[in-house]
Structure 1
Amino acid sequence: MVSTQDRELVCFRDIRPAAPHHYLVVPVEHIVNCSSLHKGHIRLVEKMAEMGRAALRDQGFANMEDIRMGFHHPAYTSEDHLHLHVLAPVSMIKEVLKFKFRPGSLAFIEEKTLRKHLKNVSSPS
């Protein structure tokens, strides 16, 4: 079982995996969802992705070109606490769940796309 944490983040296996490797990376600080983020959170999102890749490597998964990492948009979130989905291999995401993790959909935004978007989102005053 995968379970890792540091001062800012926790990583563990999803209880309803959509792929052979499906982990969640969650910040210790409560953040509701990806719509609550701003440019000040870019480094946090980067660290979440780094921890996700490390979890995959720790489990013997080496092909970092065959992974998908991202967040569900509100209305498609199951928990009111920000969490990054780390899935691998992409080619083995369960057919019935592919729609939930499709990049560019209304439901799912990839980590790298979110980081780009956050560069233009000001911190709340």
Structure 2
Amino acid sequence: MDCLFCKIIDREIPGDIVYEDDEVLAFNDINPQAPTHILIIPKRHIATLNDLADGDQALMGRLTQTAATLAKERGFADDGYRVVMNCNEKGGQTVYHIHMHLMGGRGFTWPAG
């Protein structure tokens, strides 16, 4: 499989990993949009949110819980942070392995900016 994130999971290419367990990997984004910008991914390849199966609720909860834990550990949970997932080209997805962006350490406006 020619998936950038799968290659990071398999350690075929380096990633600045900040968290790992049996199901989830988190690493710093190489093009950060905030002082803290971490990508949180499942270790199992799922291309888009549209490809989630009925049994993936726990995995998605695990990604979200990981984001909250990392925000607390980095000290910006109480001030606030942004969690974003993009789906397909028009939704801004550029790597086709689902991933959650955790961004913190600055204020955010809506729409993104």
Normalising by structure 2, report the TM-score.
0.72
- Residue 71 of structure 1 is matched in structure 2 by 85
- Residue 80 of structure 1 is matched in structure 2 by 96
Alignment of 1:89-100 (within 5 A): 89=105, 91-92=107-108, 98=112
Q: Which amino acid aligns with 1:18?
A: Q
Q: Count matched residues.
A: 96
Q: 1:78 to 1:34 in 2, by over 3 A?
A: same
Q: Which amino acid aligns with 1:23?
A: I
Picking from 32, 36, 53, the partner of 2:51 is 36
Question: Percent of counterpart pairs with the same letter?
Answer: 24
**C-alpha contact (below 8 Å) 1:3/1:13 kept by paired residues:** yes
Deviations 1:8-44 (A, max 9, x none): 0001111111112211101110110111113321211
- Residue 32 of structure 2 is matched in structure 1 by 17
Q: Which runs of 5+ in 1 are unaligned?
A: 100-125
Deviations 1:46-94 (A, max 9, x none): 1101111111222222316x2221210101211111111111246247x
- Residue 74 of structure 2 is matched in structure 1 by 59
Normalising by structure 1, report the TM-score.
0.66
Q: Which amino acid aligns with 1:68?
A: R
Q: Which runs of 5+ in 2 are unaligned?
A: 1-15
Measure, in 2, the Cα distance between the counterparts of 1:89 and 1:98.
15
Q: Which runs of 4+ in 1 moved over 4 A?
A: none
